[in-house]
Amino acid sequence: MKYSDGKPYKVIALCTAKFNYVDESEYITFFHKVCERLNYRLFVFSALEDFYFDNLFDRAEEQIFNLMEPERFDAVVISSISFKGEGVAERIAKRVLDAEVPCITLVRPIEGCINIRCNFNDAFEEVVRHVVEFHKAKHINFIAGMKNNVFSDERLRIYINVLKENNIPIEDDRIDWGDFWEEPTAKVMDKFLASGKEIDAIICANDFMAMEAVKKLVEAGKRVPEDVIVSGFDGADLEKFHYPRLCTSHFANSNLAETAGRILSDLFGGKMIRNEYMIEGSFRAGQSCGCSKIVVTADEVKEISARLFDTAKHERAITGHVEAMYTKIYELGHFDNLPEVWERLVYFINRYFGGDFMLALNSDFLSEDMEIWPNLQPIGFYEQHHYYTDEMMIPMDFFGSNYATKERIKRTDLVPHFDDIMDKNLVLCFMPIYVQNSTAGYVVSGFKPEDFEFFMLYSFVSNLRNVIEMHKYRIDQQNLYSTDQLTKLLNRKGFYRHMEPIFNDAVRDKRELAVISFDMNWLKSINDTYGHSEGDFALAKIAEIIKKASEGIGVSTRFGGDEFAYAFSSDNAAKRAKEVNKRVLEEIEAFNGLGEKPYPLSVSSGYVVHVPDETYTMERFIVEADREMYKNKTEFKETHSWEGAKE
């Protein structure tokens, strides 16, 4: 079933990385305008990383795209150019194509998809020919992107071919790699300038490297373009504010968005669709090559000054908001109570996201009382779990003006009260939440991109993830010191810590509380006869049986040695205590019946049930339960012997 079934609109998924990057946020803004015009709804699935470093976070980040069920969408658009790592965009596309859903890719083609490509080669060649053939430069250096990158390699090939056609020798020391960003480019420029070779022009594989090249030239006392011509490529948004304006070529995100819209319209209208659509670049000669002169009027100076003031004011405000948000949210990482954390986030969500925000967590990550499961332990890289559960818990839901709810939804539904949200015609952006690199859930924010601060959303989600991570880490540390490592039950310290709120609630509500005391029989004999490894097995097996019999209700513990206890509070505690005790004995008897061990397992037990008050302490429960257990143990010793047990 598609999300659009029975609806007057289509629903489109856009898969991207780093939604807050300038190019991606700009494309989302333009594409949303197109979708609004065509009466489509837009869901954005975005990782917070771009997979450039191929690190241990990437597997967890990538799961957000597995949250998307392609068959439920009318079409999927993949911003393949935003994925810097190998294979991620291709894996998304395969799922979409396997579901037989139309799949459009942006810039970087993927086999089987409808590919919107940018004619980078012709556009870049026009820039190179302008520098070489129009300006007649002879001593030309080249700053490529990164090695073994398809775009970088193509631009290097074009540079070499144009120089060869114009009988300009190719010199290896005039070619270097700036990795498409400023810091490596600065080092390349230091090498070029230190070489002492004459330089007429520097051709760069993108605008960011070109702007850094200009900066280094100016610092070295060179004039651009009088002494050295500089050219860029790609049309970076920051270049609009750069002096001198670059000689470059760019591809407008608006063209990409409009082309995708036309394809979708034709597709849904039953028209013929090609496998590939090509967008041409727009060449622009600039001040950095000497083709554009500076003529600025007094009014233009005033306008630029006003824009710079507004920009600086905006940046200060954003910086202040981010710093304040980081400080406040970081403090929440030290809260023990997660529902209290959710409630304190109301302010940020209302202020920055208009109240349209939701957190969904895997049903096996949080229990009903919002306490992180104590048995969710730190795990190694290859043991991390990467999945979303069939049902998701919703501890924060602001779309319905609620918060700290315990509502559950089906994973495939993505958000509750779907129709109401769709009526707002917001962009819904889904982002991953993971803890210790294991998938924990996702967040979704709804917004109108035209006046939205993408970086604020990125910062908020990153901080929220850190809060949950800190909470989980603290729970792990508590478990480390309050868990028996052999049986994985709580130790004495952990027992009292977990029983304190249960005991206090029983006192307040005047509800029965029960404690069952278990003591293993023959542990020393098993150790002496078969070795301590068998004794450890026997202890762990009894712990497993006690835990299974308790059905996850109440608190199970190993007090030490061969002593165990199980405690809980309920309205029918006496009946349940009797049933649990019986179940433990029956499970032990069933295990012995399998004959897997040369010795039998055996426990003595006793239990006590009371309605506690301030005078009837937890310690008193333990003492009385032990007293009942020792009565049973005395009877056991009178009727059983270790020699008899071996027969």
* pLDDT, tens only, 571-622: 899 999 999 999 999 999 999 999 999 999 999 999 999 999 878 889 999 9
Question: Do 432 and 529 belong to one domain?
Answer: no
Q: For residue 459, is pLDDT > 80?
A: yes
Q: For residue 516, is pLDDT > 70?
A: yes
- How many residues in the chain? 647
Report if residue 557 sits inside a domain: yes
pTM of the model: 0.76
> Which pLDDT score, from 0 to 100, does residue 371 have?
41
* Pair 561, 491: CB distance under 8 Å: no
Mean pLDDT value across residues 360-367: 76
> Which pLDDT score, from 0 to 100, does residue 325 have?
79
What whole-number distance in Å separates Cα of residue 74 and Cα of residue 76?
Answer: 7
DSSP label at 451? G
Question: Do 32 and 106 belong to one domain?
Answer: yes
Question: Do 153 and 16 belong to one domain?
Answer: no
Q: Of 423, 446, 480, which residue constitutes the final position of a domain? A: 480
Residue 294 CB partners (closer than 8 Å, separation 6+): 244, 287
Question: Do 511 and 609 belong to one domain?
Answer: yes
Question: Do 82 and 231 belong to one domain?
Answer: no
Question: Do 102 and 124 belong to one domain?
Answer: no
Question: Do 29 and 150 belong to one domain?
Answer: no
Q: For residue 372, is pLDDT > 60?
A: no
Report if residue 559 sits inside a domain: yes
Mean pLDDT value across residues 6-10: 96
Q: For residue 288, is pLDDT > 50?
A: yes
pLDDT tens, 463-480?
888 888 887 777 667 666
Helix 253-268 with 22-38: angle, nearest 10 deg: 30
Q: Which residue do the tokens 């604020």 mark?
A: 456
Q: Of 432, 455, 480, which residue constitutes the final position of a domain? A: 480
SS3 annotation, 427-450:
EEEEEEEEECCEEEEEEEEEECHH
* SS3 at position 272: coil
Decide which of 243 and 210 is more confident.
210
Decide which of 346 and 29 is more confident.
29
Question: Do 518 and 633 belong to one domain?
Answer: yes
CATH number of the structural domain spanning residue 436: 3.30.450
> Which pLDDT score, from 0 to 100, does residue 376 have?
39
By mean pLDDT, which of 6-10, 57-61, 167-171, 519-523 is the weakest?
57-61
Mean pLDDT value across residues 513-526: 95
* Pair 285, 313: CB distance under 8 Å: no
What whole-number distance in Å separates Cα of residue 117 and Cα of residue 109?
Answer: 7
> Which pLDDT score, from 0 to 100, does residue 645 have?
63
Question: Do 261 and 187 belong to one domain?
Answer: no
> Which pLDDT score, from 0 to 100, does residue 320 have?
78
Question: Do 591 and 612 belong to one domain?
Answer: yes
pLDDT tens, 405-430?
557 899 999 998 888 889 888 999 99
Mean pLDDT value across residues 3-11: 96
Report if residue 317 sits inside a domain: no
Number of domains observed in the structure of the chain: 4
pLDDT tens, 540-577?
999 999 999 988 789 999 998 999 999 999 989 999 99
Q: What angle do CA 16, 22, 28 make, to 5 degrees?
A: 50
> Which pLDDT score, from 0 to 100, does residue 366 have?
54
Q: For residue 384, is pLDDT > 90?
A: no
- Give me the domain span that covers residue 438: 331-480
Q: For residue 401, is pLDDT > 70?
A: no
DSSP label at 71? G
* SS3 at position 552: coil
Report if residue 325 sits inside a domain: no
Mean pLDDT value across residues 264-272: 96
* DSSP character string of 154-221: HHHHHHHHHHHHTT----GGGEEE-TTSHHHHHHHHHHHHHT----SEEEESSHHHHHHHHHHHHHTT
Q: What is the mean pLDDT of the chain?
A: 89
* Pair 181, 187: CB distance under 8 Å: no
Q: Of 425, 447, 480, which residue constitutes the final position of a domain? A: 480
pLDDT tens, 227-251?
999 999 998 878 887 889 999 999 9
> Which pLDDT score, from 0 to 100, does residue 493 have?
87
Question: Do 447 and 525 belong to one domain?
Answer: no
When mean pLDDT is compared over 11-20, 365-374, 430-439, the highest value belongs to: 11-20
CATH number of the structural domain spanning residue 263: 3.40.50.2300
What whole-number distance in Å separates Cα of residue 641 and Cα of residue 549?
Answer: 27
* Pair 60, 388: CB distance under 8 Å: no
What radius of gyration, in Å, describes the C-alpha atoms of the chain? Answer: 33
Q: What angle do CA 191, 196, 197 make, to 5 degrees?
A: 95
Answer left, alpha or beta for residue 344, where phi above 0 means left and psi between -120 and 50 means alpha: alpha
Question: Do 501 and 475 belong to one domain?
Answer: no
CATH number of the structural domain spanning residue 619: 3.30.70.270
Report if residue 4 sits inside a domain: no
Q: Which residue do the tokens 């003591």 mark?
A: 519
Confidence of residue 30 (pLDDT cuts 50, 70, 90): very high
- For residue 100, give the nearest of 5, 175, 2, 4 by alpha carbon: 2
What phi, psi does 243 have (nearest 5°)? Answer: -125, 125
Report if residue 415 sits inside a domain: yes
Report if residue 272 sits inside a domain: yes
> Which pLDDT score, from 0 to 100, does residue 370 have?
35
Mean pLDDT value across residues 384-394: 85
> Which pLDDT score, from 0 to 100, does residue 474 have?
73
Report if residue 208 sits inside a domain: yes
Decide which of 302 and 271 is more confident.
271
What whole-number distance in Å separates Cα of residue 436 and Cα of residue 440?
Answer: 9
> Which pLDDT score, from 0 to 100, does residue 54 have?
79
> Which pLDDT score, from 0 to 100, does residue 367 have?
45
